[in-house]
Structure 1
Amino acid sequence: MKYCIIISLCILLAACSTNKTATGTEAMPVDTIKVLTYNIHHANPPSKKDVIDLDAIAGVINQQHPDFVALQEVDVHTGRSGRDVHEAEVLAVKTGMHAQFAKGIPYDGGEYGIAVLSRYPIKEGHAYQLPSAPGSKGEPRALCTVKVKLKNGRRVMMASTHLDVLKPDTDRLLQMREISRLLGQAGMPVILAGDFNAKPGSAAIQVLDSAFTRTCDNCPFTIPVDAPNRTIDLIAYAPAKAFRVIEHTVIPERYASDHLPVAAKLVLVQ
């Protein structure tokens, strides 16, 4: 009888150590972080002029259930999206997350910029203005950062950005160098995501790659939504040894915005 009990206990321990769910599939490591980056086109579906559909954007986010979302092209109290509407805060309520907004420019009586949504309470949030070359006609750009404490007590920083769109890429280079400098002072693992308005191999992305590790090598196209032909929406992290990439996915959601959302699953290993 004693030997039967010991054998049964060993079988039970072996079953638990496989880290499988009740359905028999492999469970995610406990330090897994899911990140989504999404240029939301101020929640205006391209097929519906002047319509603001925050429910559609929230639906995309809720379907993915991310820990962090980097948002670009976010309206706050603008005429076109509603004087009383703070899009980042509305999306936070609709997704059960916390929001941090960073203004890029004043627009239509309100503000227009970027944001981070976090599943975890935000311990510290910042908005940084990014540089432009003297005489540049580029639109002012920003970096939005949040520091959070994960369930295991470890701290990470999540950052969202949207680089300049004009050619040549002088402003993008200045902005990416400043982002690398700012995030290099974080003192903790950093995830950076956004619309870089630059393709892999370009000068700005070479600067990104010198300081961060992207979650994809041959990155799938992210824009335009109907027939994607280039990759400008990316997720990256630093230091390189801090994370392990489990998955990088471009989500085929073609109604809510003019960009495809991009998701990545990372394991925090250091």
Structure 2
Amino acid sequence: MNSLFVTTLLWLCWTLLPLERSSINTAQQGNSTLKVMSYNVKYCAPYKSSTPDLDSIARIIRHTDADIVFMQEIDRNTTRSGKVNQLELLSQKTGLNYHFYGEAISYQGGETGLGILSRYPMTDQEIHHLPRVELEGRYVSYRILMTAVTKVEQQHLTIANTHMELTLENRELQVPAIDSVLSAAPYPVIFGGDFNATPDGPTITSFFERGFNSACPGNAPQCFTIPSREPNRTLDYILYRPRTELGIKSHEVLHTEASDHLPIITTFELKSKP
């Protein structure tokens, strides 16, 4: 049988099949909800592939009906991505019309970094450069935190996205820097990204000590996010504070090989003030 035909048939089957989920549900009734996704998209290239496939990423976002999407490792005008603005194209393909891009590093004639897609308008958009220390014999990348304010019904929220450094020495500098920015936020905070740290390590513990809560606490297998084929650990998170104004309705990990990480989706309850 023609190999191209087989490849095409397999792709069509994948796009039509429902996505598998690992989920935690703590649903309550009566409050407004907001669905937030965090996804390291690896410049939209599937697991063990170097060819971007924006349609697969867009399909996943549409399938979840996410309101806000935090993305890491998303390209703008790089050679490997065909010199396109990936975030802008995903905005068009998903109907999430508001988008905000943050360059982390220059790469292949363009940039790679972070992006936020939103169903709701965003204001006060800022990019914060995180501290960085050189380490002998180690590559240390430049990292950023991006923040914005959005409004869902009558509730203002600060939303934040990051991709933390691989080295613990740098993450130990980045946690207090991130906390300093988000502590100054006048609204409840929803904060997601690829933290390059497991739940039982000092990085995540430091966030908990600073009052952040996790949508998927502990090192449970249903929270694993990498690799996308046979995941064995958690590196991707959606954190929030305070609990008095934000609650968790559900948390899901979608099983798909559209990237080397799995997307995570948290549905928040926006608690009504008395």
TM-score tier after normalising by the smaller chain length: 0.7 to 0.9
Compute the displacement of 1:153 (Å): 2.1
TM-score, L = length of structure 2? 0.83
Which runs of structure 2 are paired with 1:157-176 in the superposition (5 Å)? 157-166=158-167, 169-176=168-175
Is the Cα contact below 8 Å between 1:116 and 1:145 reproduced in 2? no
1:225 counterpart residue number? 228
> Which SS does the other structure have where 2:244 is aligned?
helix
- Are 2:124 and 1:124 aligned? yes
**Matches of 1:205 and 1:27 in 2, distance apart?**
27
Compute the displacement of 1:239 (Å): 1.6
Which runs of structure 2 are paired with 1:179-198 in the superposition (5 Å)? 179-198=178-197
**Matches of 2:193 and 2:105 in 1, distance apart?**
17
**Matches of 2:251 and 2:209 in 1, distance apart?**
20
Compute the displacement of 1:227 (Å): 1.1
2:85 counterpart residue number? 86
Compute the displacement of 1:27 (Å): 9.3
Is the Cα contact below 8 Å between 1:37 and 1:235 reproduced in 2? yes
Q: Once the two structures are superposed, what CA deviation does each residue of 1:238-261 show, in whole Å capped at 9, x if it has no partner?
A: 12322111111111112x100011
Which runs of structure 2 are paired with 1:126-165 in the superposition (5 Å)? 126-135=126-135, 137-150=139-152, 152-165=153-166
> Which SS does the other structure have where 1:62 is aligned?
helix
> Which SS does the other structure have where 1:73 is aligned?
strand
**Structure 2, unaligned runs of 5 or more:** 1-26
**Matches of 1:102 and 1:114 in 2, distance apart?**
5
Is the Cα contact below 8 Å between 1:116 and 1:146 reproduced in 2? no
1:246 counterpart residue number? 249
Aligned length: 239
Is the Cα contact below 8 Å between 1:74 and 1:113 reproduced in 2? yes
Shift in alpha-carbon separation, 1:133–1:27, aligned structure 2, 3 A: closer
**Matches of 2:32 and 2:175 in 1, distance apart?**
28
AA paired with 2:94?
T
Q: Once the two structures are superposed, what CA deviation does each residue of 1:207-245 show, in whole Å capped at 9, x if it has no partner?
A: 111221111123411101111110010111012322111
Compute the displacement of 1:48 (Å): 3.2
Compute the displacement of 1:124 (Å): 2.3
> Which SS does the other structure have where 1:101 is aligned?
strand
Which runs of structure 2 are paired with 1:1-270 in the superposition (5 Å)? 29-49=30-50, 51-83=51-83, 85-97=84-96, 98-135=98-135, 137-150=139-152, 152-166=153-167, 169-211=168-210, 212-218=212-218, 219=220, 220-254=223-257, 256-269=258-271, 270=273
Greater mean deviation of Cα atoms: 29-38 or 64-73: 29-38
Is the Cα contact below 8 Å between 1:72 and 1:114 reproduced in 2? yes
**Matches of 2:255 and 2:215 in 1, distance apart?**
18
Shift in alpha-carbon separation, 1:29–1:78, aligned structure 2, 3 A: farther
Compute the displacement of 1:28 (Å): 6.1
Is the Cα contact below 8 Å between 1:161 and 1:193 reproduced in 2? yes
Is the Cα contact below 8 Å between 2:72 and 2:114 reproduced in 1? yes
**Matches of 2:90 and 2:28 in 1, distance apart?**
28
**Structure 1, unaligned runs of 5 or more:** 1-25
> Which SS does the other structure have where 1:112 is aligned?
strand
TM-score, L = length of structure 1? 0.84
Is the Cα contact below 8 Å between 1:116 and 1:158 reproduced in 2? no
**Matches of 2:31 and 2:92 in 1, distance apart?**
26
